[in-house]
Amino acid sequence: MLKFDIEHKDGLARVGVIHTPHGDIKTPAFVGAATRATVKALTMKEMNELGSQAILANTYHLILRPGTELIKEAGGLAKFSSWNKPTFTDSGGFQILSLPNVKISENGVKFKSHIDGASFELTPESSMQAQWAIGADIHMAFDHLAKSENYEDMKIAMERTHAWLDRCVAEHQRLRNIAVSNGASNTSSEDRKLGRAPLSVSEEEVFWRPNEQFLYAVVQGGTFNDLRAESARYCASKDVDGFGIGGVFTAKDMDEMLKTVNSILPENKPRHLLGMGQEPIDLFVGAEYGCDTFDCVGPTRMARNGSLYTKDGRINIKNAKYARDFTPLMDGCDCECCKNYSRAYLHHLFRTDEITAKVLASIHNEHFIVSTVDHIRESLADGTFKGYKQTFLARYYADQR
RNA sequence: GCCGGAAUCGUCUAGCGGCAAUGACAAGAGACUGUAAAUCUCUCGCCUUCGGGCUUCGUAGGUUCGAGUCCUACUUCCGGCA
C-alpha cells in the first residue's frame, strides 16, 4: 500500500506526504507534465532546480515511441529520463477524448497512431502492463473519458470506467505479485515495505526499478454530482492506493463536484486532480476541497506560446508593448528567468523564434505554478490559506472583474 | 549611346481583358487545462449604419462596355553590346 501521511487538515483540505519508492512528495503538489518522458523544453536538472517534486508521463505516447519494453530495458522511466524522483503515468484514457477515429468497446479502445496510422488497441490489461513496463511509481487506471456532456453518455462512460477499473485492479495485482516474487526473494517484508533491496539486487537497481508500483482508480461522472458520487463510492470500495479525479475541464462548479467526491473518498489515500492547473484558481479550489496532487500541460504549453504568468495575470510577452520593458518578467520571482532576464529580452527571443525563449518561459511558468502550490501547502499548514487565496486571486484576476 | 527585360500591400511574390487583386514573410491581436500543440485562429489600402462606399498595381496619355493585364511616351532599375 502506498504510504500517505496527513500532517494537517482544514476542512477537506490536507497537507501531507506521499512516500514513493523514488522519494517523498509533499502535498499539495503540482506534478510536471512529462508526456513523452520529458517536460517539453526543460531538462530534468532545470525541473529539479525550479522545485518540481514529481513528473507525469503518458502511456499512450510511450507505447508509440520508444515502446514500453525499451523503457523497461533502460531501467524504467525514472532512470531512462534521469529523473530520480517520484513519477506518475497516465493510462492513455485521455486519448479516447482527444484522438479522432477511436473505436471504444467493452473490451477496450482501438486507436490509430497519430504518427504513422498504425492500429493498436489499449485495454485495461494492456494499459496496466504498459505502465508496469514503464515503471512509474504511481499508475492511473485505464478509464473512459466521455466526449459528450450529455448525461446518458457520461453515465455510460462512468459505468465502463468502473468495469475497466475491476480489470485494472486484477491485472495490477497479478503484475505486482510477479514483480514482488521476482525481486523480493531475499527481502523481508519489512525491507519490502521500506523499498529496501533484496540481498541479490543492488541498492541502485532497487532504487530505479522498485518492485512496488501503485495504482490510482479514476473517478468520472462529468458535471453531474449524482454520477460523481456514485463513481466516488465505487472507486472507494476498491483495493487501490489512491484516486485520480478525471474529466474536469473548468473551475466553474468544480468546488461542488470536489466536495461531493472528496467527502466520499477515503481520507487516508491521496487524490490526484487530473489535468487541472493551468489557471491558478484551479489549484486553490482543488487544494481547498481535498486534492493532493495536480498535473497540467498548461504551464509549459502557455510558455511555448508566449503566454507567461505574473502576479497580475498572464501576459503575452510577444505583444509590442514589451519591446522596451527592461524590468523582470515578474517582480520577486526567484526563477532563473526572472533573476537574470528582462521582459524586453524575452520579447526579443520570442520575436526571433529562439529556442531559448521557450526554455526560459517554461522555466518561469512551471516554477510559477509549482511554487504557487508550494505556497498553498505552506499556507494550509500555518493556517493562512484563506487570506493567501483571497489576496492572490484578487490580484491575479483583477482585470477580469 | 544602342538592344533586351522589369516596375503589384513593409518585404518577396501570383496575376496574362471582368479582382481590393494570390501566396509567403513581417506586423497587430487572440486562444490554449490527464499535450496529434515550439500549435491554432483572426486582422493586415481607406471609410462603413457591415448592405456597402471610395481610392489603388512607377508616372502621364490612349484603345476598350471594361485595363494591374493591350498600345505610346516618360521615369527608375537590371542584363548584354559599345
ipTM: 0.91
A295 is catalytic: yes
Mean pLDDT of A105-131: 93
Residue A297 has pLDDT above 80, yes or no: yes
Domains and CATH numbers, chain A: 3-295 (3.20.20.105), 304-396 (no CATH)
User: A187 falls in which pLDDT band (50, 70, 90)?
Assistant: very low
Q: Which of A90, A137, A241, A282 is catalytic?
A: A90
Residue nearest B26, CA–C1′ metric:
A351
Task: Dump pLDDT digits (tens) for A329-383.
Answer: 999 999 999 999 999 999 999 999 999 999 999 999 999 999 999 999 999 999 9
Rounded-to-integer distance, Cα A207 and Cα A79, Å: 9
H helices of A237-342, in order, are: 254-264, 280-288, 298-304, 336-340
Whole-model pTM over 0.80: yes
A353 is catalytic: no
User: A275 falls in which pLDDT band (50, 70, 90)?
Assistant: very high
Residue A185 has pLDDT above 50, yes or no: no
Residue A200 has pLDDT above 80, yes or no: no
Chain B bases having any atom below 7 Å from a protein CB = 26-40
A353 CA, B16 C1': Å apart: 39
Mean pLDDT of A37-44: 98
Mean pLDDT of A290-298: 98
A304 CA, B10 C1': Å apart: 27
**Residue for grid cell 507534465:** A33
Cβ distance A333 to A367 under 8 Å? yes
A400 CA, B50 C1': Å apart: 29
Q: Which of A24, A295, A325, A399 is catalytic?
A: A295
Task: Dump pLDDT digits (tens) for A148-165.
Answer: 889 999 999 999 999 999
- CB-based contacts of A289, cutoff 8 Å, min separation 6: A12, A13, A254, A255, A258, A259, A262
Q: What is the pLDDT of residue A194?
A: 56
